[in-house]
Amino acid sequence: MKLPDGSRTPSLLQTIELIAQPTKFLDRCSQRYGDIFTTRVLGLNSPPVTFVSDAQAIQEIFKLPSSKLDFRKATHVFEPLMGQNSIILQEGRSHQRQRQLMMPPFHGDRMKSYGQLICQVTQAVMSHWQEGSCFRIQEVMPEITLKIILRVVFGIEPGERSQQLEKMLGSLLEDITTPWYSSLFFFPLLQKDFGAWSPWGHFLRRRQQIDALIYAEISERRLENDDSRTDILSMLIEACDLEGHKMSDLELRDQLVSLLLLGYETTSAALSWAFYWIHSSESVLNQLLSELNTVGPEPEAMAQAPYLTAVCSETLRVNPIALICTPRMSKESLQLAGYQIEAGTILVPCIYLAHRRQEVFSNPEQFQPERFLQQKFSPYEYLPFGGGERGCIGMAFSLFEMKLVLGTILSGLRLTLVEKFSVGPVRRGITIVPSGGVPVIVTDKLKLNNLQPISARNKS
């Protein structure tokens, strides 16, 4: 069969629609065209972009030989931010080498060493939240996740450089989340440096300032040569590939920025959704508090808590960190789910639509953590971090961080939604966040390990 049907709207309008209202665009296309459909959402002269949500078809894509695919052409919009050496843009042996160098810090005992630090950073931020204070979860989570990245990934201790980086990165990442600024990366015609006051010129100068701080930290760390450090940058500096080669400063910079961009706003958005869903259901909140009271404040025990894990998993199902897996361009004509895919087609496994399949997840629009306690799903049905050889290397760390931030905050204070109303998904940069930002009020500050269900506290 020929390429799956899809929208015939001009490519520029499709691109703008996807940028402005991605979930509505995907929902509408899925309802109209089915499990596999073709769009043109990569600018004026967009190649065909085929979205896939069926588990069997996703499995077929993940198992395609990398020699038949081009990842760089499908992800080039990230290059100005992440750099040409980013693992996201690598292919073949270069990609395998980068994964080999970067995987160890994100697994096993290495992860455990980050637990206390994640909890300490979270406690330091939440110590400023006073009883009766009101704020939006979406506005405070980025502060926590950025501080965690600077401490755990970059290994930068609190001080002048840390403050400078936090201010500059926070400002840049905040701008990138706006529709206008993020559009600069989709349309090369807008990438013109007309001086510091032009949008692209402003971006380039801020990137240069941030890079200077990062390179200074890399240089000092190389001279320091401290074997006792456990941060990810230190381990990447010492990591060797199979031929005994280490990463260059440029490679280190690009991987650090990639980890920052992939782990900052995304985890922050996931946490915002988690707080919304938890506090929208008294039964979910009470069951979670009961479990946290049992496991206690130790990071390792908290990370193993079954219901907390299920809550995080369900959050990432309903509101995945990314709507899609890494896009890939077919280098040659190939078969996919009975369709003939021509060379030059961009293939996109769609996480968002895969997680909403009624035959896999009953009542897919409802938040039901219990489904992850009752059933295991295949990596082609549930794939919040992508899959195959292009799956997110920070998957374990992201879920670990999410559980510890949630557990630490819920163990130390009580939050209540200012208003209990339904929220919708809105685009913020590369992520989808809850509309309204989840406004909450601090109703009680507790001592750790003194948890009671809400109903019990209200009666006392």
Query: pLDDT-based confidence at 389, cuts 50/70/90?
Result: confident
pLDDT for 179 equals 67
What is the reported pLDDT for 447? 58
Is pLDDT larger for residue 122 or for residue 431? 122
Residue 159 CB burial class (10 angstroms; 0-12, 13-18, ≥19): exposed
Does residue 428 or residue 49 have the better pLDDT? 49
- CA dist., res. 411 & res. 444, Å (int): 11
Categorize the per-residue pLDDT at 1 as very low, low, confident or very high, splitting at 50, 70 and 90: low
Tell me which of 110 and 459 has the higher pLDDT.
Answer: 110
Lowest model confidence (mean pLDDT) among 71-85, 123-137, 237-251: 71-85
> Which tokens is 300 given?
């390792």
CB within 8 Å of 354: residues ≥ 6 apart: 53, 54, 55, 58, 360, 380, 381, 382, 383
Q: Is the pLDDT of residue 452 over 70?
A: no
pLDDT tens digits along 360-374:
999 999 999 999 999
Report the range of poorest mean pLDDT among 193-207, 324-338, 436-450.
436-450
Q: Is the pLDDT of residue 75 over 80?
A: no
Cα 422 to Cα 144: distance, rounded to the nearest angstrom: 25
Query: Which tens digit of pLDDT belongs to each residue from 24-49?
Result: 999 999 999 999 999 998 877 888 99
More confident residue, 278 or 260: 278
CB-based contact 221:247 (threshold 8 Å): no
Percent of all residues in the chain with a pLDDT value above 70, rounded to a whole number: 96
- Asked whether the beta carbons of 114 and 129 are under 8 A apart, the reply is no
pLDDT given at position 175: 81
Report the mean per-residue pLDDT for the chain: 88
Nearest to 273 by CA among 127, 389, 436, 400: 436
Question: Which CATH number is correct for 11-459, 1.20.200.10, 3.40.50.360, 1.10.10.10, 1.10.630.10?
Answer: 1.10.630.10
